């Protein structure tokens, strides 16, 4: 479903009047493939290139080299119209639910906006969009009574549910989850993770799950890749990787895990 | 104690604005400013109707009663033409306030357009637009206004155009900075990720979030705009007599100082009231709307 082939991203060196910054190699020859219906985990520490990679997939940024194929199509070659249509298929939930909702918009406007933008593809009129927004809110554990509230009236966990509803609104097949629980309280983390698992089963979604929390990854993901300084160090089935790590980096990472990891989500 | 069920039904947004209003009321200076602005706005709307000697406002004169000192019949005295100064000051309010407001409004619109384009697009567009607005900032507004008056002739509309031309760069800089900041917000990235067009991102996600500092600056600038309008009237290239305007009134009264002080003092006081009021109001609004700038 999603093929990432030898993607590199170098942020160019800058020479300015007041000093220079050297070039940064944020991603180096990254190759991954995500299969339909699975949860693919990407683990890495801060600054390892996780977020840069999501920006490439969303085409908020352009790779220096390499290709990204979604359902067999090279995203770089799509016409602007085709790219817009494709954006309905690939959605993202960001890490910080406090920053990722526009404070001036009501929940209704936030959740219906993707449907408004993709109305040509989805074919929903105003009333249908509002109805669907109410359905989506119920799907993520909120309700129609929350439609006309504003983001600041919600807790972190509720906001993340709104973000999930917004991501589901255009009917995506792939959802990128960029550390969707790391900004939340531990008790709320489990609720949101369980919601994500439930949604995946009901809607047949494919997840690309980014985290630095190995416990969460182990709980959610079928396969996992480790990224370190912009390079993929190891990838494979989650269970295999946890049981028999191949690279030194994976071993040191697993050794650094607190002993009760894997039970955080309270299965 | 308030009723709990009613409290929970009230939306938090209404609650927030109620609190902002409360904080605004807590500051005595802000309330003084708001009151002064209210008085000025009252005379802007009704000054012409309430003037006790409307015929003087239209240019009528009464040479028998020249230079009367303030009295019950003429609380602000009369001028060199025997006109009631109170009537002229009241009737001058709409002219000054409308001119000031027009200047600020035109300046804001131009500044928002330029600043938003520059900040949102970045790159060479940013460089060109901002160097151009820097260039405009280097031209003193009074000199520019004189040049425009010389080219287009003096008059109300030309004066407003002239001042607005030197007014917008301040807004362009403010808006550009705010847009640059807002552009990096996560919700802007989220909007782009769901496929929002650049126009949609700018109008729906960026501009609504930078309204507060613009409103504060508009309020602070109203006073200065009124002052600039009066300054142009004073040097004789703004509003022409017999239309009563505070600056023009002062300019004529200057010849009769200090013996007939009331002809100059009362238009000056009116100006003081308007400028000071808008400044206090702007400071108060800034404290409420833009907490980062609070001292």
Q: Are A9 and A56 in contact (CB under 8 A)?
A: yes
pLDDT of residue B5: 37
Classify strands A223-228 and A39-43 as parallel, antiparallel or unpaired: parallel
Which token pair is B22? Answer: 């409360």
pLDDT of residue B7: 40
Give pLDDT tens digits for B263-292: 888 888 988 999 999 999 988 888 887 665
Element (H, E) at B158: helix B156-183
- Average the pLDDT over B150-161 and give the result: 82
Looking at the predicted structure, is the pLDDT value of residue A180 above 50? Answer: yes
* Chain A interface, best mutation among B187, B188, B203, B205, by max A CB count within 10 A: B187
- Average the pLDDT over B221-227 and give the result: 89
3-state secondary structure of A124: coil
| Helical spans, DSSP H, in chain A | 50-57, 80-87, 107-117, 119-122, 126-139, 156-168, 186-203, 214-220, 238-243, 248-255
- Specify if B61 maps to a domain: no
Residue B197 phi/psi, 5-degree rounding, is -70, 160
pLDDT of residue B57: 77
Q: A25 - beta bridge partners?
A: A10
Under the banding of pLDDT at 50, 70 and 90, the label for residue B12 is low
The segment with the largest mean pLDDT, out of A42-56, A189-203, A232-246, B238-252, is A189-203
A88 near B CB under 8 A = yes
- Specify if B211 maps to a domain: yes
Query: Is A205 buried (19+), middle (13-18) or exposed (0-12) by CB count in 10 A?
Result: buried
Which residues of A are less than 8 Å from B193 in CB distance?
58, 60, 87, 91-92
Give pLDDT tens digits for B71-100: 777 888 787 777 888 888 888 888 888 889
Looking at the predicted structure, is the pLDDT value of residue A114 above 60? Answer: yes
Looking at the predicted structure, is the pLDDT value of residue B60 above 50? Answer: yes
Cα dihedral B234, B240, B241, B247 in deg (nearest 10): -20
Under the banding of pLDDT at 50, 70 and 90, the label for residue B23 is confident
Closest-approach residue (CA) in chain A for B210: A104
Of B189, B195, B208, the CB nearest to A118: B195
Classify strands A65-70 and A2-11 as parallel, antiparallel or unpaired: antiparallel
Residue A204 or residue B2, greater confidence: A204
pLDDT of residue B104: 94
pLDDT of residue B290: 67
Dist CA B220 CA B222 (whole Å): 6
Instruction: Give the domain CATH number at B223.
Output: 1.10.3720.10
For the complex shown, is ipTM > 0.95?
no
Looking at the predicted structure, is the pLDDT value of residue B155 above 70? Answer: yes
Say how many CB pairs under 8 Å bridge A and B.
Answer: 66
3-state secondary structure of A97: coil
Closest-approach residue (CA) in chain A for B207: A104
Neighbour tally for B232: CB within 10 Å: 27
- Please give the mean pLDDT across all residues of chain A: 87
> Is B190 in contact with A92 (Cβ distance < 8 A)?
yes
Looking at the predicted structure, is the pLDDT value of residue A267 above 50? Answer: no
Looking at the predicted structure, is the pLDDT value of residue B4 above 60? Answer: no
- Supply the CATH classification number for the domain A1-10+24-89+174-181+207-260: 3.40.50.300
Which residues of A are less than 8 Å from B195 in CB distance?
84, 87-88, 114, 117-118, 170
- Specify if B220 maps to a domain: yes
A89 near B CB under 8 A = no
- Average the pLDDT over A86-101 and give the result: 90
B64 near A CB under 8 A = no
pLDDT of residue B3: 38
- Specify if B168 maps to a domain: yes
Looking at the predicted structure, is the pLDDT value of residue A22 above 90? Answer: no
% of chain A with per-residue pLDDT over 70:
94
Give pLDDT tens digits for B162-198: 888 888 999 999 999 999 999 989 999 999 888 888 9
- Specify if B218 maps to a domain: yes
Closest-approach residue (CA) in chain B for A57: B193
pLDDT of residue B1: 38
Cα dihedral B97, B102, B103, B108 in deg (nearest 10): 130
B217-229 exposure pattern, b = at least 16 Cβ within 10 A, e = fewer: bbbbbbbbbbbbb
pLDDT of residue A208: 94
- Domain extent at residue B135: 19-56+74-293
Sheet strands (E) in B13-144: none
Q: How far is B287 from chain A (nearest CA, A)?
A: 20
How many structural domains is chain B composed of? Answer: 1
Residue B139: CB partners within 8 Å, gap ≥ 6?
B166
- Specify if B8 maps to a domain: no
- Average the pLDDT over A257-267 and give the result: 53
B208 near A CB under 8 A = yes
The reply to whether the predicted model has a pTM over 0.90 is: no
Of B12, B192, B194, the CB nearest to A170: B194
Closest-approach residue (CA) in chain A for B196: A117
> Is B205 in contact with A102 (Cβ distance < 8 A)?
yes
B185 near A CB under 8 A = yes
> Is A87 in contact with B191 (Cβ distance < 8 A)?
no
- Average the pLDDT over B48-67 and give the result: 77
B8 near A CB under 8 A = no
Dist CA A103 CA A85 (whole Å): 26
- Average the pLDDT over A126-137 and give the result: 92
Residue position matching structure tokens 């697009």:
B121
pLDDT of residue B11: 57
- Average the pLDDT over A18-23 and give the result: 73
Looking at the predicted structure, is the pLDDT value of residue A164 above 80? Answer: yes
């Amino acid at each position: 479903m999603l093929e990432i082939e030898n993607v590199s991203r170098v942020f160019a060196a800058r020479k300015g009047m007041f000093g220079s910054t050297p070039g940064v190699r944020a991603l180096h020859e990254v190759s991954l493939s995500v299969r339909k219906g699975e949860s693919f985990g990407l683990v890495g520490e801060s600054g390892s290139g996780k977020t840069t990679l999501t920006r490439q997939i969303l085409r908020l940024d352009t790779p220096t080299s390499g290709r990204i194929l979604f359902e067999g199509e090279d995203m770089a070659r799509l016409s602007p119209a085709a790219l817009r249509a494709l954006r309905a298929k690939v959605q993202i939930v960001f890490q910080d639910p406090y920053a990722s909702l526009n404070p001036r918009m009501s929940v209704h406007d936030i959740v219906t906006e993707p449907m408004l933008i993709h109305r040509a593809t989805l074919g929903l009129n105003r009333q249908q969009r509002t109805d669907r927004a109410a359905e989506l809110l119920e799907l993520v554990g909120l309700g129609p009574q929350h439609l006309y509230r504003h983001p600041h009236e919600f807790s972190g966990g509720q906001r993340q549910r709104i973000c999930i509803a917004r991501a589901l609104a255009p009917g995506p097949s792939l959802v990128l989850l960029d550390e969707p629980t790391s900004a939340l309280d531990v008790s709320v983390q489990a609720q949101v993770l369980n919601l994500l698992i439930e949604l995946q089963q009901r809607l047949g979604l494919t997840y690309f799950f980014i985290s630095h929390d190995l416990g969460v990854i182990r709980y959610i993901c079928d396969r996992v890749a480790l990224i370190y300084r912009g390079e993929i160090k190891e990838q494979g089935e989650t269970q295999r990787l946890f049981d028999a790590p191949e690279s030194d980096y994976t071993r040191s990472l697993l050794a650094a895990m607190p002993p009760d990891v894997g039970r955080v989500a309270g299965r | 104690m308030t009723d709990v069920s009613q409290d929970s039904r009230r939306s938090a947004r209404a609650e927030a604005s109620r609190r902002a209003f409360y904080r605004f009321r807590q500051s005595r200076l802000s309330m003084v400013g708001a009151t002064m602005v209210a008085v000025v706005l009252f005379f802007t709307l009704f000054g012409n109707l309430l003037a006790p000697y409307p015929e003087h406002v239209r240019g009528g004169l009464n040479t028998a009663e020249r230079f009367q000192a303030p009295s019950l019949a003429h609380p602000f005295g009369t001028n060199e033409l025997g006109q009631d100064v109170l009537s002229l000051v009241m009737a001058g309010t709409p002219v000054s306030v409308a001119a000031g407001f027009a200047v600020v409004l035109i300046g804001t619109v131009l500044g928002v357009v330029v600043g938003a384009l520059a900040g949102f697009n970045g790159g060479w567009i940013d460089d060109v637009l901002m160097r151009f607005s820097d260039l405009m900032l280097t031209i003193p507004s009074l000199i520019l206004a004189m040049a425009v008056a010389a080219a287009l002739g003096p008059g109300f509309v030309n004066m407003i155009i002239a001042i607005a031309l030197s007014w917008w760069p301040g807004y362009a800089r403010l808006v550009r900075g705010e847009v640059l900041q807002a552009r990096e917000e996560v919700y802007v990235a989220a909007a782009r990720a769901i496929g929002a067009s650049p126009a949609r991102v700018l109008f729906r996600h960026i501009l609504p979030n930078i309204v507060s500092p613009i409103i504060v600056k508009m309020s602070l600038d109203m006073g200065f705009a009124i002052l600039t309008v009066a300054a142009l009237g004073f040097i004789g290239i703004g509003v022409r007599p017999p239309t009563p305007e505070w600056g023009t009134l002062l300019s004529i009264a200057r010849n009769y100082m200090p013996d007939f002080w009331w002809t100059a003092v009362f238009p000056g006081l009116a100006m003081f009231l308007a400028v000071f009021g808008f400044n206090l109001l702007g400071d108060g609004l800034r404290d409420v709307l833009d907490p980062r700038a609070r001292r």
